Structures are given as C-alpha cells and as structure tokens.
C-alpha cells in the first residue's frame, strides 16, 4: 500500500495514500469532532463540524472528505478552527428543539455532547424553528423533525445498508426536511421497521414507539398474570446502559431486575428458540424429503419478513411458516402454560423484551393469535427495559444474579442462545438436522463456516451422504443481493438464514445506542456476539432437540414437530404488501 507523510498539529505521521484527514487524525489518536459522519456509510461533510485548517488552503476544509497528500500540514485546534466549529454548532442549535430534559436521547445525544465539548454556554442566534411534526402512526418508530439536524445518517443507512429508501431529504434550503414520499407516515411506506435509522440518529429525531405505559399498567393490575421473556441478544447489550463495557453478559442481573420490577414470571426466549429449531428444522427436512419449495428461508426476523413481503413476494412460499421464537413462546404461554398453571389465557399478559423495533410491528399482526388472543401483548426494546430499571430506582450493577423461572426458563440450550448473532439460527439448526439425518448424536457442535460478520456467507455442509447447501445474510441490503442471485439462477441452496439488521439481533434497532465515534472504532456486532458464543460454549446442553423440557412439551401437549397442534399454535402465514 502506497503511503504518504503528513503532519497534524506538528506531529509527523505516515498514512495510506487513500486516507482522508479524519482517518489520518484518528489513526494518530488525534480527535476531530464529527456529527454527520458514519464510517463507510455517510461521509459527505454536510455538518461542517470536522473543519480543520490546511496550510496553503484558502478556506477551512472538512476533514471527513478531504484527501491527504504528501507533505500536507494540518491544524485541528487553531483559534480559527475552534471559532468556526463553535459558530457552526451555535447555528445548528438555533433551529433545534432544545427540550433536552424530556428528549429520548437526553444524556446520550451527540449534539448535546458536542455542545459541552465545545463549551457552548449561550446561544447567540435564535432562528426560525422547524415545526414539531410528530409521525407516530408506525407501531415501531416515531419521527420528530423538530429535533432533526439534517445529518442524513438515517437516510444513508436506510438506502445504502438496508436498500429500503423509506426516507430521504425533501424540499430545499431552509425548508429541507427528512421524510417519506408525499409526506406519508412511515407506516404508509415499505419501511421494514428495523430501526437501523434510530440506531444511527445522533439526536432524538427518531426513537422507538413507547411500550412502557401498558406494561406498567399491567403490572399494577392485580387481575393480570404478567410474564416477561427476554431475547438472547438483550443480555449481551443491556449492561451498556449501565456503564458496563460493550459485550458484557448480564444474564443474571437482568433476571434479577425483572423480578424486582414485579413480573410474576421471568422466562428466557432461548427456550422458544429451541422450539423454533424443532419446528423449522423439521420443516426443512420435510421439504427436502418430500420435494417441497426450496430453499427454506428463516422467518425469525420480522424486519426481514416485512421486507420480503414488500420486495420479494415471489419468495413468500420459501419462508418458513414457523413463527419467531417470542411469538411461539407467547402462544405456548397462553395455552400449555395457562392449562398447567390453571390461569385463564385472557388474564395472562405477555411482555417480550427484544433487541428489535420491528418486533413491535410483528406483535400487532392479527395472524399471530393462535389461542384467540394476541400471542404477545407488549414489546419493549432493550433501551426501554433499561428505562424501567432506572425508573424503579434499581441499582442494576449491584443486583445479585438470579435465574430464570421454571418450567420455561433455565432449560434452554446453547443453541438457543446463539440465535442473537448472525449465523446463529443456521448453526443451531445444523446441530439438530445433522443428528436427525445421521441418526446419531454427533460430536460436531461448532459450525464456524456460518459464523462471522461477513455480509453473505455460503457453505456446503456434509451430513451423512448429503451436501446441505446453506447461506447466511445479515442486513437487508445483503438479503437483496442474495435473493437476486437466486432469482437470476446464480445460486442454489437448501436453507438460508436472513437477519434484517447488520450483525443480527445483537445490533438490532432496539439495542443501546453507541456514538458514531465509538461504533467506528469498535465492532459492536462482533463484541456483543462474543457474549452469546461464550454462553453457548458453557452450556450443559448445546443442541435444541436434546432439551428435556422441549421433549416434555411435545410428549405432553404438542405431539410432534409440524404436527396438527403445533401448526395451529406455532406457525403462521405471510402476505404480499405494496411496493411504494
């Protein structure tokens, strides 16, 4: 790689020729503030916060897009630079809704942080204010344009990474806003509800639809039996909301907090992940043996499913009819569990804590009500659970570890845990499918060929006398590439795992939000996934079909995987949706 030598603040450094000033500075440990910049996604120099001085240049330049060249001299903290950055920020704040104390991003706002770092103590400009137009029709995401700073990070991730394009800049000049076509609500577009726009928004212009009120109300209702279940990815990220390092597993403290909040039972969605493998794995084997529609594609990710309904309706028959794990669990809780506990299903209120904003949309699907009642009554994101814990005054980091409740809690396997990472569903399925096809309990547990953060992974796994061709994609842009390849006859598989969010559930739209500067330096999806793989490795059982409580559930209630009763409770259907 060709290198060049430049100096920053008098410090000589050697960097690759294709670097920008910002990349060069960060490689040397020199901080330059940014706001619109998202590494590899949004590098447009729009916000002007990264202004620096280059010797010989007539004007200040934006470090995030300005290329380095041999002998360049850069200054990042001259008086001229500091005054310019501060003026840019003050002008930005002149049009910003400054109700910070009640903002969803208070104390985790990149604009707020910059105001402190640049010592903004007064606002010399008071500009015309963008009207506070709230779009809260979507069951998953709320937009407030009065908080928007036009950084376009949400637009970039929606277009470039997810290839949905539900939002974009509209109008011109001072009237520019970020919105949907023809000023429609997000709910009237083909938005996948994935929440990746929320994850990258530096301010409070995008946030999840509030799910706390109905949960607090249910907890206060003595006639309700309120149960909660937590997705595997939540334990790998919740601790970040309480200052713990990224990727710290907090399973025990999370269970303790939920019990302290007053839930009647605290369950682990990992159990339902094992159940999903039984249903989905059996569905795959049936399709292979009976000549059914292949490839079978996983349906655990509601953002992916909605994306498929809008963009690839010709693949709807390829989708597994199995519900996602938390919806399966809700159906079992309002049927088998209700019978065992002697509780009327109408009095059971099921709360799902998920790393995902699309789960809020999913829970409202009318077809997800196998018992005659909604499988799940309320969905909270990981961030919302953290808010509940703080509101209740619990000192999370000081809680003693607790365990999930039985009979549907601590009986999950390691296979269920890894559902939260890209490739995890595939690996869990292969562990079970391999044993079924060979008729043996195989020693092979780690299918590393489907692990990792590469956008699309392919493998041919030799099982018995068959080469099972599989693929894994995460992020909707990668899903689009993969399905287009199949459409064009360029690829052929038996089984595909698709997760709507890059990295899978560990970096879902409902997970703790890290500043862009942190996300540029730390691979969040890899660090959080490590926590799940560590739990899997330490688990006593690591194959879903070996879970004794799963066996008991089928023996006592469901009969057999993909049988009549399980199909009624645990399977669903999908529908073509308009492409806007």
Where in the sequence numbering do the catalytic residues fall?
A: 280, 283, 300, 320, 359, 362, 367, 505
Q: In the chain, helix, strand, coil percent, each to 5?
A: 45, 15, 40
Separation of alpha carbons 109 and 202, rounded Å: 6
Per DSSP, helices labelled H in 73-204 are 79-94, 110-117, 153-156, 196-200
Q: At what angle do helices 382-391 and 212-220 cross, to 10 degrees?
A: 50
**Helix or strand or coil: residue 130?**
coil
- What would the two tokens of residue 322 be? 């199995």
Rounded to 5 degrees, φ, ψ at 490 are -90, -10
Helix (H), strand (E) at residue 533: helix 524-538
Which residues, in sequence order, are CB contacts of 446 under 8 Å at separation 6+? 427
Separation of alpha carbons 345 and 337, rounded Å: 9
Separation of alpha carbons 189 and 375, rounded Å: 26
Helix (H), strand (E) at residue 54: strand 51-54
User: β-pairing, 141-144 with 495-499?
Assistant: unpaired
Please count the other Cβ atoms lying within 10 Å of the Cβ belonging to residue 80.
13
Separation of alpha carbons 227 and 404, rounded Å: 11
User: β-pairing, 348-354 with 378-381?
Assistant: parallel
**Helix or strand or coil: residue 527?**
helix
Q: At what angle do helices 110-117 and 79-94 cross, to 10 degrees?
A: 140
Rounded to 5 degrees, φ, ψ at 326 are -70, -30
Angle, alpha carbons 497-499-503 (nearest 5°): 115
Q: How far is CA 318 from CA 288, 298, 362, 487, in A?
A: 13, 9, 19, 12
Reference 460, options 490, 426, 489, 428; nearest CA is 426
Sign of CA dihedral 234, 143, 197, 324: positive
**Helix or strand or coil: residue 547?**
coil
Separation of alpha carbons 566 and 370, rounded Å: 10
Helix (H), strand (E) at residue 207: strand 206-208
Q: Are 23 and 38 in contact (CB under 8 A)?
A: no
Reference 143, options 195, 102, 96; nearest CA is 195
Q: What is the 3-state secondary structure (H, E, C) of 73-100?
A: EEECCCHHHHHHHHHHHHHHHHCCCCCH
Which residues, in sequence order, are CB contacts of 539 under 8 Å at separation 6+? 413, 414, 417
């Amino acid at each position: 790689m060709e290198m060049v030598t430049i100096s920053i603040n008098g410090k000589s450094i050697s960097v690759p020729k294709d670097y920008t000033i910002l990349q060069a500075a960060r490689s040397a440990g020199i901080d330059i503030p940014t706001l619109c910049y998202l590494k590899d996604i949004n590098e447009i120099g729009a916000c002007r916060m990264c202004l620096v001085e280059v010797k010989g240049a007539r004007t200040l330049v934006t470090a995030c897009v300005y290329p380095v060249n041999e002998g360049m001299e850069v200054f990042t903290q001259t008086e001229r630079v500091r005054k310019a950055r501060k003026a840019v920020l003050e002008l930005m704040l002149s049009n910003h809704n400054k109700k910070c104390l009640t903002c969803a991003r208070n104390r985790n706002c990149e604009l707020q942080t910059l105001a402190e770092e640049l010592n903004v103590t007064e606002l010399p400009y008071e500009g015309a204010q963008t009207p506070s137009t709230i779009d809260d029709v979507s069951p998953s995401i709320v937009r407030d344009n009065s908080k928007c700073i036009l950084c376009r990070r949400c637009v970039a991730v929606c277009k470039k990474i997810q290839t949905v394009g539900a939002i974009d800049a509209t109008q011109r000049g001072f009237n520019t806003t970020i919105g949907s076509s023809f000023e429609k609500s997000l709910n009237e577009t083909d938005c996948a509800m994935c929440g990746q726009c929320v994850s990258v928004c530096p301010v409070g212009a995008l946030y999840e639809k509030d799910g706390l009120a109905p949960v607090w109300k249910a907890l206060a209702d003595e006639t309700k039996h309120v149960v909660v279940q937590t997705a595997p990815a939540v334990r790998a990220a919740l601790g970040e909301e309480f200052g713990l390092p990224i990727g710290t597993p907090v399973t025990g403290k999370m269970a303790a907090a939920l019990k302290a909040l007053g839930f009647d039972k605290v369950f682990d969605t990992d159990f339902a992940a094992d159940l999903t493998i039984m249903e989905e794995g059996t569905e795959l084997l049936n399709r292979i043996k009976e000549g059914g529609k292949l490839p079978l594609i996983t349906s655990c990710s509601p953002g992916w499913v909605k994306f498929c309904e809008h963009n690839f309706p010709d693949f709807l028959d390829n989708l597994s009819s199995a519900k996602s794990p938390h919806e399966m669990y809700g159906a079992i809780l309002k049927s088998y569990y209700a019978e065992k506990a002697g509780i009327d299903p109408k009095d059971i209120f099921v709360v799902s804590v998920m790393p995902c904003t699309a789960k809020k949309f999913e829970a409202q699907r009318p077809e997800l009500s196998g018992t005659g009642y909604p499988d799940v009554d309320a969905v909270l994101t990981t961030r919302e659970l953290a808010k509940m814990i703080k509101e209740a005054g619990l000192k999370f980091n000081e809680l003693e570890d607790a365990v999930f409740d039985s009979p549907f809690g601590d009986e999950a396997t390691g296979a269920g845990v890894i559902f939260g990472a890209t490739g995890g569903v595939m690996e869990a399925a292969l562990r079970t499918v391999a044993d079924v096809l060979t008729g043996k309990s195989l020693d092979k547990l780690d299918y590393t060929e489907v692990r990792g953060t590469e956008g699309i992974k392919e493998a041919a796994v030799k099982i018995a006398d068959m080469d099972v061709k599989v693929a894994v994609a995460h992020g909707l842009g990668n899903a689009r590439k993969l399905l287009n390849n199949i459409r064009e006859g360029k690829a052929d598989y038996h089984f595909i795992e698709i997760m709507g969010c890059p990295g899978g559930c560990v970096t879902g739209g409902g997970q703790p939000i890290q500043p862009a500067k942190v996300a540029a330096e730390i691979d969040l999806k890899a660090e959080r996934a490590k926590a799940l793989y560590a739990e899997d490795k330490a688990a006593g059982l690591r194959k879903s079909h070996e879970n004794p409580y799963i066996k008991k559930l089928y023996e006592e209630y469901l009969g057999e995987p993909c049988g009549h009763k399980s199909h009624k409770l645990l399977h669903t259907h999908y529908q073509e949706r308009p492409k806007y």
